[in-house]
Chains A and B, each alone.
Chain A
Amino acid sequence: MATLTTEMAAAPREAQSARFAALRRREQWRYLFLLAPALVFLTAFYGYPVASMLMRAFYDPSWGGQNFAPLVEASSTVEVLGLSLPMNVYLRVFWITLQIALVTTVCTLLLGYPVAYALSSISPGRANLLMMLVLIPFWTSILVRSYAWMVLLGQEGIINEALTAAGAIENPIRLLNTRFAVYLGMVHILLPFMILPLYAVMRGIDRNLMRAAGNLGAPPAAVFRRIFLPLSLPGIAAGCLLVFILSLGFYITPQLLGGQRDVMVSMLIQQQVDLLKWGFGSALALVLLVLALVIYLVFTRLLGVERVFGSARA
């Protein structure tokens, strides 16, 4: 025993740390091995197809950047903060898409936060039961849920019929084919994506902290604002990021529920594919992807990747 300790102490420090480093490397390789099947699968069936589709933006119909030219061509200008910026139909569609994604994200956060808070505050058994209510719609297809909104919002839909019957309105009001309907449908569909990360983070918050603050005389509002809210921030960030990026690619819901001007990038891409202008379609898809990546990077840089995704394990 004594010899061993002496020996270890006697060993040069560098040799020891080198051995640890080697061990750690080997361990990391082992983890990489665990990742391999998923990595191979994703590369073959996701990475390659997506990459070859996006590559089209550069070679179809001929090599070069001509597919990106229409995006920067200005057909009109728009005044932003006194600056006159170039504007065209494609940029406008991107702008509408961002707008819809932003409003959807804010609405899901406002609706999802109290739900996640309530779920994380009750006993796990009961929370699981209630969580089913969040998850069941989540498992229903987007198309079905979008049609369900058409059924509800139509001129002769349930809402209008009920309001007319109750005497609240005389003539049916226009609910379907409006931006409002798009928000309604998208918020409904994306709500679980907000609630789940929020719930995961909130479950991990030690409630004793709040009790301690209360004991020390903090009013409930201050306890929430200064303790719970900051601790739930990673959940907010993860949920918002998820919902926002998913919103950018929405197609069916705005198509079915939206009005004349609710054109999203996905619809523009579909139109280009039909026109057999696959190169331009790919260019639009590439820009959308880059946009999503930039938003992701900005978000994680501002808040730190660890804070966005790390603490879900807390």
Chain B
Amino acid sequence: MRNSWDPIAEMRATNRALKRQMMRDLDVMSRRQLLRRGGTLVAGASAASILFKAGIPLHASAQEETPPLPEYGEIPENLMGSGEVRVQSWGGAFQDAQREAYFQPFQELTGITVIESEGPDPSQIKAMVDTGNVEQDVVQMDRADVIFLLQQGDYWEPIDYSLFDVDNIAEYHRFEYSVDMLPYATVIGYRTDAFPEGPAGQADFWNTEAFPGPRTTSGGTGGVTPFLEAAVVAAGTPMDAIYPIDLDAAFASLGALRPDVVRFWEAGAQPAQMLTDNEAVMAHSWNGRTHAIMQEGAPVDVQWNEAQLATDVWAIPKGAANAENAQKFAAFITLPVSQARLSYLIPYGSVNAASAELMTPEQLATLPTSPEYLEKMWVRDIDWWVENLETVLNTWNEWILS
């Protein structure tokens, strides 16, 4: 049954827009407050301002130390075009960095105008394709969401790899309906004033006797998933035997930590804010966001051991008006220079093997894709999650209220 117009999608889009506007207002407000009160509210205001900055690594301070961005040379002829491409990413200073790293160069070099929006949402994609009113040409997503929608029907355009730098993009980064574009890690962030030594891995995250204090880890609402992988690793499962996850063991392990979890976070900005404000002394947090608060001066450090590597993808909604330009856009962004430029601005990894040549060894060492870190991490198994997401969330709902 297909409706000509979908109120749920409409409502969600409106809510998101409203929330973004509020966040902006709040940002401005908290900055003003900070100025007026001359810092007495520093702790407080930071709670508010970090929430959106955390996203959202601030590259201004990083730029002082880093060399200028690598420049584009000749770009492949088949990426040239005309018209426009409508792109949806995650907003804030993160999208600002994307704009500087590759949106603007794409527009200048290919002649295709980039029109940006924020806040990709699988349920919105579903509504748009169902109603034949596709407002985005290419969206940045978790691949689990792409597959999840595929199971519901024909929602995505296949990726045209004839345009891509396939020699340098490993096969495990290429899929029929999406292409990897941003590797990131879920690390253990901790307060250095609480633990100068820091935890060695997930077992220490769970060891509340040796490392006392409130924790935060991801929950099952707000579009995120509970960190079951860390739970089983903490309980002694080796990293290469995580999948398939034993749900009973994982939730039992989470249950042991539960009394010390001050809150299960629902958005990536929350753990960063909670570390900054000392709401939690240890957090499962995304590496880019944690890096951002460290740069802002929060007494926080990161343990890469037993972290999780995951990757965001570009995907093209079925029936997108500028699907061809979207293919070129995705191909451009996975070029070595594009990937390297973003890593210069934010410590997120690259899916293009040739990017490494454009970066210094010191820079590479800070990325989640550096060999040194890679061997300490496991890779999130998207297929397992697609298969088990509903079971996990239903179990989660029962568990959280028990």
Task: Enumerate chain B interface residues (CB-CB to A < 8 A).
Answer: 1, 3, 7-8, 10-12, 19, 22-23, 25-26, 29, 41, 43-45, 47-48, 51, 122-123, 126, 148-149, 152, 214, 220-223, 258, 261-264, 266, 277-279, 389-390, 393, 397-398, 400-401
Q: Is the CB of A92 within 8 A of B390?
A: no
Q: Does A287 contact B (CB under 8 A)?
A: no
**Partner of A144 from B12, B25, B220, B398 at Cβ < 8 Å:** B25
**Partner of A147 from B7, B10, B48, B397 at Cβ < 8 Å:** B48
Q: Does A313 contact B (CB under 8 A)?
A: no
Q: Is the CB of A157 within 8 A of B43?
A: yes
Q: Which residues of B contact A52 (CB under 8 A)?
A: 3, 7
**Partner of A268 from B122, B126, B262, B397 at Cβ < 8 Å:** B397
Q: Does A113 contact B (CB under 8 A)?
A: no
Q: Does A18 contact B (CB under 8 A)?
A: no
Q: Which residues of A contact B10 (CB under 8 A)?
A: 49
**5 further interface pairs, Cβ-Cβ under 8 Å (given A263-B221, A267-B222):** A52-B3, A154-B279, A161-B43, A270-B222, A273-B12
- Count A-B pairs with CB separation below 8 Å: 112
**Partner of A278 from B8, B26, B41, B397 at Cβ < 8 Å:** B8
Q: Is the CB of B263 within 8 A of A260?
A: yes
Q: Is the CB of A53 within 8 A of B8?
A: yes
Q: Is the CB of A143 within 8 A of B22?
A: yes
Q: Is the CB of B401 within 8 A of A150?
A: no
Q: Is the CB of A141 within 8 A of B223?
A: no
Instruction: Report how many residues on chain A are interfacial, defined by Cβ distance under 8 Å.
Output: 44
Q: Does A158 contact B (CB under 8 A)?
A: yes
Q: For chain A, what secondary structure do more than half of its interface residues adopt (helix, strand, loop), or is it mixed?
A: helix
> Please, how many angstroms separate the alpha-carbon atoms of A203 and B261 in the complex?
49
Q: Is the CB of B277 within 8 A of A143?
A: no
Q: Using known A-B contacts A158-B41, A174-B262, determine if residue A271 contacts B393 with beta carbons closer than 8 Å.
A: yes
> Please, how many angstroms separate the alpha-carbon atoms of A292 and B167 in the complex?
60
Q: Is the CB of A59 within 8 A of B1?
A: yes
Q: Is the CB of B25 within 8 A of A270?
A: no
CB distance from A144 to the nearest CB of B (A): 5
Q: Which residues of B contact A260 (CB under 8 A)?
A: 258, 261, 263-264, 400
Q: Using known A-B contacts A53-B8, A154-B44, A276-B152, determine if residue A177 contacts B22 with beta carbons closer than 8 Å.
A: no
Q: Is the CB of A151 within 8 A of B8?
A: no
A-B contact pairs, 15 of them (CB 8 A): A49-B10, A53-B8, A75-B398, A89-B401, A141-B25, A144-B25, A144-B26, A147-B47, A147-B51, A150-B47, A151-B44, A154-B279, A161-B43, A259-B263, A267-B221
A258 (CB) vs chain B CBs: closest residue:
B263
Q: Which residues of A contact B123 (CB under 8 A)?
A: 273-274, 276, 278
CB distance from B201 to the nearest CB of A (A): 24
> Please, how many angstroms separate the alpha-carbon atoms of A282 and B6 in the complex?
13
Task: Enumerate chain A interface residues (CB-CB to B < 8 A).
Answer: 49-50, 52-53, 56, 59-60, 75, 89, 92-93, 96, 141, 143-144, 147, 150-152, 154-158, 161, 174, 176-177, 255, 259-261, 263, 267-268, 270-271, 273-276, 278, 281-282
CB distance from B276 to the nearest CB of A (A): 9
A56 (CB) vs chain B CBs: closest residue:
B8
B216 (CB) vs chain A CBs: closest residue:
A177
B149 (CB) vs chain A CBs: closest residue:
A276
> Please, how many angstroms separate the alpha-carbon atoms of A270 and B267 in the complex?
14
CB distance from B72 to the nearest CB of A (A): 38
Q: Which residues of B contact A96 (CB under 8 A)?
A: 401
> Please, how many angstroms separate the alpha-carbon atoms of A270 and B122 in the complex?
13
CB distance from B262 to the nearest CB of A (A): 6
Q: Is the CB of A155 within 8 A of B221?
A: no
Q: Is the CB of A144 within 8 A of B263?
A: no
> Please, how many angstroms separate the alpha-carbon atoms of A176 and B280 in the complex?
12
CB distance from A197 to the nearest CB of B (A): 26
**Partner of B7 from A53, A155, A177 at Cβ < 8 Å:** A53
CB distance from A51 to the nearest CB of B (A): 9
CB distance from A259 to the nearest CB of B (A): 7
Q: Which residues of B contact A53 (CB under 8 A)?
A: 7-8, 11
> Please, how many angstroms separate the alpha-carbon atoms of A259 and B264 in the complex?
8
Q: Is the CB of B277 within 8 A of A155?
A: yes
Q: Is the CB of A276 within 8 A of B148?
A: yes
Q: Is the CB of B221 within 8 A of A271?
A: yes
B259 (CB) vs chain A CBs: closest residue:
A260
